[in-house]
Amino acid sequence: MKEKVVLAYSGGLDTTAIIPWLKENYDYDVICVCVNVGQEEELDNLEERALASGASKLYIENVVDEFCDDYIVPCVQANAIYEDKYLLGTSMARPLIAKCLVKIARKENAVAICHGATGKGNDQVRFELGIKALAPDLKVIAPWRCNDTWKMDSREDEIEYCRQHGINLPFSADSSYSRDRNLWHISHEGLELEDPACEPNYDHLLVLSVSPEKAPDEGEYVTLTFEKGIPTSINGTKKKVSEIITDLNKLGGKHGIGIIDIVENRVVGMKSRGVYETPGGTILMEAHQQLEELILDRATYTVKKEMANKFADVVYEGKWFTPLREAIQAFIESTQQYVTGEVKFKLYKGNIIKAGTTSPYSLYSESLASFTTGELYDHHDAEGFINLFGLSLKVRAMKLAEAEKQDK
């Protein structure tokens, strides 16, 4: 029997061309694995395409709920945003995909795992760190780094390669955006986006959303409830996290929410420019942050923001299966014990506008925050506090003044 390789298969031209390439260069039995993290129509006709391209089998692993509950929710609870803009849509999904690839590799007794990530991107790092952490004995094959055997540099080359191997598939050689989609977002790279001086062609580019200019002229109210930092209902109806994100994607897309244009710093050292659509995720993140404003004390909130940035870096760099990620997540989860309540907001032309937040654990006290003097706060107490709080500044100024006199 031939040795087996598990191929991370999307059904696109790259991974379709990899199937005959693997058979030709390694003589492997190719087992395709597509991990469903919510990419929708991209899953159509996959088995027919994989088998027609020479694969012996295709697994489609539906892990949408696991993706939401075990990967998205921790990032929402952390408020993890890479470089202040990117909501980690692709980054969160890659470790779960790696986990599924390893699971099927073990089931099929495969000797290797192959992925179609390029040698310039982040995904090669994320896939391979996940595989190393979960199955260090498995060989990893990255065709785009195999300069001696992978000779294809364009879509035309890949289409011709498939044709030469008796594979005629409905792929166009026309240039298009490079996209990655899951339930949380869709990313766009390529074409005019490769030049930061060019404005994105949103009419051609957007998939999940409309631009704010084309959003309805009437705003729409939405209410979300959270329990311990986890979303539990939308507009009064209890739903799974995956269902809430699906609903929010429709609402956010309708109102032009969550479209960002970013030049980010990749793990491999270069800058890249992309446009991300994250309509539901942007709303969910903002709602969670609004609730935390009421509930977390100042010291905890300050440290949590630092941990959010570190957590975002860890996820972006593909270090999900590490003690560091586990430790940061444990801290984050401890802060979520009382993050329970309701958040109401209005969606309007790309904006999420606050419309009221309530929580049984709110630290906001109207009597304290008002300008009236109450039992808990006497305005005169502030004088002593300021004297002590500013004591070091006052002493320093006095010492500098004394030194200045002596110099004269």
Active-site option among 65, 69, 178, 211: 178
Annotated catalytic residue: which of 10, 53, 94, 273? 94
Q: Tell me phi and psi for residue 80, to 5 degrees.
A: -80, 115
What value, to the nearest 5°, has the Cα angle with vertex 209 and ends 73 and 88? Answer: 30
Rounded CA-CA distance 162/72 in Å is: 37
365 a catalytic residue: no
CA distance 18 to 5: 12
* Active-site choice (14, 29, 180, 247): 14
Choose, from 123, 126, 181, 247, the residue flagged as catalytic. Answer: 123
* Residue 14 a catalytic site member: yes
8 A C-beta contact, residue 303 and residue 79 = no
In terms of DSSP bridges, do strands 351-358 and 230-234 run parallel, antiparallel, or are they unpaired?
A: unpaired
Strand order in 259-265's β-sheet? 178-181, 186-189, 271-277, 259-265
C-alpha to C-alpha distance for 122 and 371, rounded to whole angstroms:
52
Q: Radius of gyration (Cα) for the chain, nearest Å?
A: 26
Give the burial class of 334: count Cβ atoms within 10 A of its Cβ; 0-12 exposed, 13-18 middle, 19 or more buried.
exposed
Q: Which two tokens stand for residue 152?
A: 């294809």
Active-site residue set = 14, 94, 123, 178
